[in-house]
Structure 1
Amino acid sequence: MLVKIEQKKPAQFNVLPKIINGGIAGIIGVTCVYPLDLVKTRLQNQHIGPNGERMYTSIADCFRKTIASEGFFGMYRGSAVNILLITPEKAIKLTANDYFRYQLATEEGVLSLPRAALAGGLAGLFQIVVTTPMELLKIQMQDAGRVASAARAEGREVTQLTAMGLTKQLLRERGILGLYKGVGATGVRDITFSVVYFPLMATINNKGPRKTDGSGEAVFYWSLMAGLLAGMTAAFLVTPLDVIKTRLQADAEKQFNGIADCVGKTLKNEGITAFFKGGLCRMMVVAPLFGIAQMFYFLGVGEKMLGIEQKKSV
């Protein structure tokens, strides 16, 4: 399958404005959806007790209990780390996809579906350098609130966990590699997600109405819709991979010895449905995150800041 993108691809690919666009897009997107992401993490990581008991029964119940025990700002636990690292993460992901699409397209601006998927996969591969430590710290900070609530309910003292304290602890105990716990599962999830997401988003985005400024870009609301639909689809398909990654990174009790062991024990103890825990919540997080991020990425703020004429991306 060949997709005609434009008459001729630009003679030059400007990396710097794309990095700026990606960073801005990531900050805005993650700020909007972070509370849902926290709920998703806690739902995925909760384990069913011997009598079927669980801390949270639904998305709404998790929201209610978190706000009741930790306050509104408890919904943003671990967000500082995520917002700080989302800038390079989104900059790498979105820019790398655009760059590889540019390099893999023909001079006539034609990109085959396999090459579009390859560009997305390479973008997913590159991002895990930042994504893995970001998600490890975020997940452990998010889950710390659940652990603290359970401890307080039992009358036990709880030490407040901070992102800096957690980082120092991981570096002290495991060195720099301690920040890359779960890198294999993160890579599998992110590469698979990107292989699905980017070609689908580009296909939908190319079908919509265009701006009147001569850039050839889709109007902002269509980019938002393309990101929403593609993000929703890709998020659902990789939910089992996200569950595995989340459990490995939040595994303070060292219950799992790698991806295969996590899959085996989860399947044995909780059944196949466990791999879709938090799936709806994940779709509710990823769809608006990528919709908002793609919309701001395509607004061309970086090009405007640097005084560069915005050209249509391949």
Structure 2
Amino acid sequence: MSNATSSVNLMSATAPMSFSEVCRQAAFQASDSMTDALVQQQAAEGATLRAAAAFVAYPLDVLKTQVQAGHPQYNRLLKLPNIVKDYRMNILKGYPGVGVNAFIMGGLMFGGYRFFDNFWQLNGVPDYWRPAVAGASIGMICGVVATPLEQVKTVMALQEAWLKEGKITQRIYPSVVQGALNAPAKLKFYAAMPLMIRTGLFDCQLFFYNSRLRDWLATSGSDISPSSRLAISTFGFMTAGLIGATVNYPFDLVKGRMMAEAYEASTGVKTPSTMIGTFRKVIADGGVAGLFRGLPTRSALHATVWCVVGIGREVCERVGVRDGARKRSAEQGHSKNLSA
């Protein structure tokens, strides 16, 4: 994802700005940045590519859900052909939730990241670390916003196995829309905390690593061939995602466990759990290594997603998808003081 850090002209003041003044100025600067046609084009491009990549990788997402929930059969990466065979086309029923989340997160990331980048610059965070702090800030907000659809998607991923095994007699949610409209709030936000922390950690690292990669390419990559730059940017982007996904995986596992039990907990069949309680149970059952159960499946998922996104962005650049937006940006004068 693009760094898209707008150059901020700090207002000279004899006294420190209040919190509300900082927020107002950061919002104004973010809004100005988002009027750039190139930024708008890249926001739409990023959301579309993430949705497409999530579709390609969605069977892996369903398998990851089952692995984290502790299913005895769908319990490792090599079981992907089994779950695809057993679920058939039903494996894709929960995808609309992921697709919609991809577009929502795309908008929040591009606009929200700019706000927090400006906000933390106004609060004196150095340029080197600001991508990490801004990424963590918007990532935590994205985690809360993404929770309801992620929870519905999880129930839909699990209910096919529950039907097959006779645990339920009919689907709990026939569609994402029906689940999003009818699921109670205590179900939809049951695992909001671990998802919020997981997303915050992931975006903190992703923005930081990619900002360092872009800085290196800008200062030291002038002699690198276009094909080498493509490989470095694409696989560097993918590697950043894999590192972030590994570091935050314990929170992803706990999120998955809690979302797997959320339906029964919200209906009184099971005693509700807390994030800390779920961490303790995972460690008690499998030790610290238990916090990384299913990591290969999630790593394969993220490698697929970020490889598709990275290659897609490079293709968009090479075939001229951004040319019209770049021209409009230059005509508006944004290209002189904004980086998309």
Shorter chain as denominator, the TM-score bin is 0.7 to 0.9
The yes-or-no answer on 1:198 pairing with 2:207 is: yes
1:104 touches 1:119 (CA, 8 Å); kept in 2?
Answer: yes
Gaps of at least 5 residues in structure 1 are 48-53, 213-217
2:254 touches 2:279 (CA, 8 Å); kept in 1?
Answer: yes
Per-residue Cα deviation, 1:253-277 (whole angstroms, up to 9, x for no partner): 3254210111122222333332112
1:50-199 paired onto structure 2 within 5 Å:
54-61=72-79, 63-71=80-88, 73-101=89-117, 104=120, 112-151=127-166, 157-159=169-171, 161-162=173-174, 163-170=176-183, 174-175=184-185, 178-199=187-208
Deviates more, 1:301-310 or 1:218-227: 301-310
Residue 283 of structure 2: aligned partner = 267
* Number of residue-to-residue matches in the alignment: 286
Residue 234 of structure 1: aligned partner = 244
* 1:165–1:268 CA distance, 2 compared to 1 (3 A): same
Deviation at residue 303 of structure 1 after TM alignment = 7.4
* 1:297–1:91 CA distance, 2 compared to 1 (3 A): farther
Q: 1:45 is aligned with what amino acid? A: A
Deviates more, 1:299-308 or 1:86-95: 299-308
Per-residue Cα deviation, 1:197-238 (whole angstroms, up to 9, x for no partner): 2101221233237999xxxxx955443222201001000111
- What TM-score results when the alignment is normalised by the length of structure 2? 0.72
Deviation at residue 101 of structure 1 after TM alignment = 3.4
1:77 touches 1:141 (CA, 8 Å); kept in 2?
Answer: yes
* 1:182–1:101 CA distance, 2 compared to 1 (3 A): same
| Structure with bigger gyration radius | 2
* 1:118–1:209 CA distance, 2 compared to 1 (3 A): closer
Residue 225 of structure 1: aligned partner = 235
The yes-or-no answer on 1:31 pairing with 2:47 is: no
Backbone CA RMSD of aligned residues? 3.4
Report the Cα distance in structure 1 between the residues aligned to 2:280 and 2:196, rounded to whole angstroms. 19
Residue 281 of structure 1: aligned partner = 297
Q: 2:205 is aligned with what amino acid? A: V
Residue 50 of structure 1: aligned partner = none
* 1:209–1:296 CA distance, 2 compared to 1 (3 A): farther
What is the percent sequence identity of the aligned residues? Answer: 16
Deviation at residue 44 of structure 1 after TM alignment = 0.9
* 1:219–1:25 CA distance, 2 compared to 1 (3 A): farther
2:74 touches 2:83 (CA, 8 Å); kept in 1?
Answer: no
Gaps of at least 5 residues in structure 2 are 10-31, 223-227
Deviation at residue 97 of structure 1 after TM alignment = 2.7
1:26 touches 1:91 (CA, 8 Å); kept in 2?
Answer: no
**3-state SS, counterpart of residue 305 of structure 2:** helix
- What TM-score results when the alignment is normalised by the length of structure 1? 0.77
